[in-house]
């Protein structure tokens, strides 16, 4: 069971790395930002799996913070972006 | 260690180094900010792996959450000014690059030697902290160290936070976003749903800090995120750092902390040496004050001093 959870976490981590490619390549600012947003969701999933696998209940609180704050950067990006950003 | 764990460790470690390199090498500032946000997220995962959930919580809140907003706001400021955007020029000259590479290699060697030279088991203060936990005001070792055994350090840290706000305010103010543009209904609806959860979570994190990973820093950051969302959506009244009430609240954490220090000093036990039985209550009071102060500090750093209404005039 533990190995299964860890393998699932590993898979999620690999999807994060796949998303990183989009962050590096772009081409538009929105592409980069949306990929970073996706990490928030994958990060929540990874942390919940690791909390179960390593019996670390505190990691669920880390996931909670991720879930709450992930939206912050996106809202700031939409609201603060000026014409000509990239 | 199973193969899956090893793969997880390798992937985390290598991607962290790769991200750090890409962040520094990013040709645009915006790209660097997005990479830095991703770096914060992976860093939090690494702390989780290193069995340090307290730091993972702080990294998730500050590194992956708030820093991104502060950096984006700074970038928006830079782009508003004409040609203030610094041009990122790659390092020129093979000699300079060679010297830098040698320096980095030397540092790497030193760090590796230091790591290999660690005695086994590595030096730790856990042996001194854990037996004294019974008499401390908090049963979670990290909180006990931060607010009981080494409370003096934390007191000075809060003073530093206040100094940071004073320094940031002295640089002038740049209200974000343009106060004339109100956020869309979708954004306002989202903020209305999210806000109660954020405040509830902040309260939960402070309360939990007494006996498990959590505490004022993480809770204050979540509170600040809620406040910045209010400002970004245009739902809340603009933050006005000149109002005496905001200033009083900004300093409240330091006031409560100093008050407790003076009170315990007058009682004869020494500053921040809590009387037996009162430790938990005093620590909770300090933590609540700190949460408010830390939350407002981040909001003040983000919003600057001036009232947005004043700026319009």
Q: B308: pLDDT confidence band, cut at 50, 70 and 90?
A: very low
Q: What are the backbone angles phi and psi of residue B121, rounded to the nearest 5°?
A: -75, 155
CB contact under 8 A, A24 and B49: no
Give me the pLDDT at residue A83, please: 41
Provide, as residue numbers in chain A, all residues whose Cβ is less than 8 Å from the Cβ of B38: 16, 20, 23, 36, 39
What ipTM is given for this predicted complex?
0.88
Instruction: Give the range among A18-22, A49-53, A80-84, B167-171 with minimum mean pLDDT.
Output: A80-84
Provide, as residue numbers in chain B, all residues whose Cβ is less than 8 Å from the Cβ of A10: 4, 7-8, 11
Give me the pLDDT at residue A62, please: 87
Percent of chain B clearing pLDDT 70 (strictly above) = 88
Instruction: Give the range among B74-78, B151-155, B235-239 with minimum mean pLDDT.
Output: B235-239
CB contact under 8 A, A64 and B201: yes
Round to whole Å and give the CA distance between B142 and B149: 10
Gap from B202 CA to chain A (nearest CA, Å): 9
Q: Are B227 and B295 in contact (CB under 8 A)?
A: yes
B51-70 average pLDDT score: 85
Gap from A63 CA to chain B (nearest CA, Å): 8
Gap from B276 CA to chain A (nearest CA, Å): 29
- Comparing CB atoms, the residue among B11, B41, B65 nearest residue A72 is B65
Q: B113: pLDDT confidence band, cut at 50, 70 and 90?
A: very high
Instruction: Give the range among B156-160, B235-239, B283-287 with minimum mean pLDDT.
Output: B235-239
Closest alpha carbon within chain B to A83: B79
Closest alpha carbon within chain B to A82: B76
Q: Where are the domains of chain B?
A: 140-313
Q: Does B220 touch chain A (CB under 8 A)?
A: no
B245-262 average pLDDT score: 85
Residues 2-21 of chain A whose Cβ lies under 8 A from any Cβ of chain B: 3, 6-7, 9-10, 13-14, 16-17, 20
Round to whole Å and give the CA distance between B233 and B198: 15
Alpha helices (H) along chain B:
3-25, 29-49, 53-58, 67-80, 94-116, 126-129, 141-144, 151-170, 185-208, 216-233, 244-266, 279-303, 308-312
Gap from A2 CA to chain B (nearest CA, Å): 10
Round to whole Å and give the CA distance between A43 and B49: 13
Instruction: Give the range among A65-79, B107-121, B206-220, B231-245 with minimum mean pLDDT.
Output: B231-245
Residue with the two structure tokens 């993972």: B56
Round to whole Å and give the CA distance between B298 and B168: 11
The separation between CA A30 and the C-alpha centre of its own chain, rounded to angstroms, equals 16
- Comparing CB atoms, the residue among B2, B11, B197 nearest residue A68 is B197
Residues 178-207 of chain B whose Cβ lies under 8 A from any Cβ of chain A: 183, 187, 190, 194, 197-198, 201, 205
Q: Which residues of B267-282 are buried (b: 16+ CB within 10 A; e: fewer)?
A: eeeeebebeeeebbeb
Q: Judge whether residue B36 has pLDDT over 80.
A: yes
Question: CB neighbours (10 Å) of residue B286?
Answer: 25
User: Cα separations (Å) of B210 from B38, B148, B202, B289?
Assistant: 30, 11, 14, 15
Torsion (CA) B104, B110, B116, B122 in degrees, nearest 10: -110
Q: What is the pLDDT of residues B62-112, one digit of tens each?
A: 887 788 888 888 887 777 665 455 555 666 678 888 898 999 999 999 999
Round to whole Å and give the CA distance between A25 and A47: 27
Q: What is the pLDDT of residues B160-201, one digit of tens each?
A: 988 988 888 887 666 555 555 666 788 888 888 889 998 998
Instruction: Give the range among A8-17, B238-247, B300-309 with minimum mean pLDDT.
Output: B300-309
Q: Are A43 and B44 in contact (CB under 8 A)?
A: yes
Q: Which long-range contacts (CB under 8 A, 24 or more apart) does B32-37 make?
A: B33/B68, B33/B71, B33/B72, B33/B75, B34/A23, B34/A32, B34/A33, B34/A35, B34/A36, B35/A23, B35/A24, B36/B67, B36/B68, B36/B71, B37/A36, B37/A39, B37/A73, B37/B64, B37/B67, B37/B68
Q: Judge whether residue A85 has pLDDT over 50.
A: no
């Amino acid at each position: 069971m533990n190995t299964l959870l860890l393998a699932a976490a590993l898979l999620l981590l690999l999807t994060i790395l796949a998303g990183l490619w989009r962050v590096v390549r772009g081409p538009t600012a929105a592409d980069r930002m949306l990929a970073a947003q996706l990490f928030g969701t994958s990060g929540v999933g990874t942390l919940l799996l690791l909390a179960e696998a390593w019996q670390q209940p505190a990691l669920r609180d880390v996931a909670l913070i991720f879930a709450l704050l992930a939206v912050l950067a996106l809202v700031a990006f939409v609201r603060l972006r000026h014409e000509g950003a990239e | 260690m199973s193969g899956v764990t090893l793969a997880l460790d390798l992937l985390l470690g290598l991607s962290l180094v790769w991200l750090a390199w890409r962040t520094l090498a990013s040709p645009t500032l915006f790209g660097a900010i997005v990479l830095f946000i991703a770096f914060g997220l992976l860093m939090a995962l690494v702390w989780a792996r290193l069995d340090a959930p307290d730091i993972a919580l702080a990294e998730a809140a500050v590194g992956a959450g708030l820093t991104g907003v502060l950096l984006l706001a700074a970038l928006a400021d830079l782009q508003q000014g004409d040609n203030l955007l610094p041009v990122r020029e790659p390092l020129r000259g093979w000699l300079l690059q060679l010297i830098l590479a040698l320096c980095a290699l030397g540092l790497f060697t030193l760090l590796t030697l230091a790591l290999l030279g660690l005695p086994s088991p590595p030096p730790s203060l856990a042996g001194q902290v854990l037996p004294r936990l019974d008499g401390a005001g908090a049963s979670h070792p990290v909180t006990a160290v931060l607010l009981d055994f080494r409370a003096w350090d934390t007191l000075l840290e809060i003073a530093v936070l206040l100094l940071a706000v004073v320094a940031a305010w002295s640089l002038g103010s740049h209200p974000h976003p343009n106060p004339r543009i109100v956020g869309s209904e979708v954004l306002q609806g989202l903020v209305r749903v999210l806000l109660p959860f954020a405040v509830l979570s902040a309260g939960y994190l402070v309360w939990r800090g007494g006996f498990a990973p959590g505490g004022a820093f993480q809770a204050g950051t979540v509170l600040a995120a809620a406040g910045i969302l209010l400002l970004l959506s245009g739902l809340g009244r603009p933050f006005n750092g000149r109002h005496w009430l905001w200033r009083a609240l900004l300093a409240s954490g330091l006031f409560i902390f100093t008050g407790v220090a003076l009170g315990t000093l007058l009682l004869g036990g020494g500053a921040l040496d809590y009387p037996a039985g009162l430790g938990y209550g005093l620590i909770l009071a300090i933590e609540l004050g700190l949460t408010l102060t830390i939350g407002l500090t981040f909001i003040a750093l983000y919003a600057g001093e001036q009232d947005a209404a004043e700026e319009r005039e």
